[in-house]
Amino acid sequence: MKIINANTIDSNININLILSLALFAIAFGLPQLPRNVFDERFRTSERGIPFRILRSEVSPINGANFRFPFRDGTFGEVRYVADENGYRPESALIPTPHPLPAHAIEQIRVAAEQRARGINWEDPNYRI
């Protein structure tokens, strides 16, 4: 049979109080980010590579960049801006379209001239 007295209860309260204050002090002492800076961390599904994005919402234009390692040890970087004009990434890693051939550029120019003259090929009543 366990005997509980006032000293046992007081020591349990003291231990709980000390542990609670220690945890609070540890949490309060962690480094803090500046105001309006957000830290996003995630891992990729491939090899669990950690990503970290720091972004600021101080300006109306929200932009950030992130880096990630390749298998050969080099890093790739993507910079982006997200604002009222949408999401616009910039990176040497993003594929770009091939240049248009000369005949395609000529067709686009002719179509623009025809539009400027009021020619509408989709109008069923239009006659040449």
Mean pLDDT score, 66-91? 83
Mean pLDDT score, 45-68? 61
Residue 26 scores a pLDDT above 70: yes
As for how many domains the chain has, the answer is 1
Mean pLDDT score, 56-75? 71
The answer as to whether 12 is a domain residue is: no
Phi, psi values for residue 97, rounded to 5°: -70, 155
* β-bridge mates for residue 119, sequence order: none
The answer as to whether 73 is a domain residue is: yes
- Say if CB 40 and CB 52 are below 8 A apart: yes
Give me the domain span that covers residue 69. 49-119
The pLDDT of residue 6: 54
Average pLDDT of the residues of the chain = 76
The answer as to whether 59 is a domain residue is: yes
The answer as to whether 87 is a domain residue is: yes
The answer as to whether 76 is a domain residue is: yes
The answer as to whether 67 is a domain residue is: yes
| Segment among 48-52, 76-80, 124-128 with least mean pLDDT | 48-52
The residue among 126 and 69 whose pLDDT is bigger is 69
How far apart are the C-alpha atoms of 65 and 67, rounded to whole Å? Answer: 7
The answer as to whether 86 is a domain residue is: yes
- Name the band, by pLDDT with cuts 50, 70 and 90, for residue 73: confident
- pTM across the whole model: 0.36
The answer as to whether 41 is a domain residue is: no
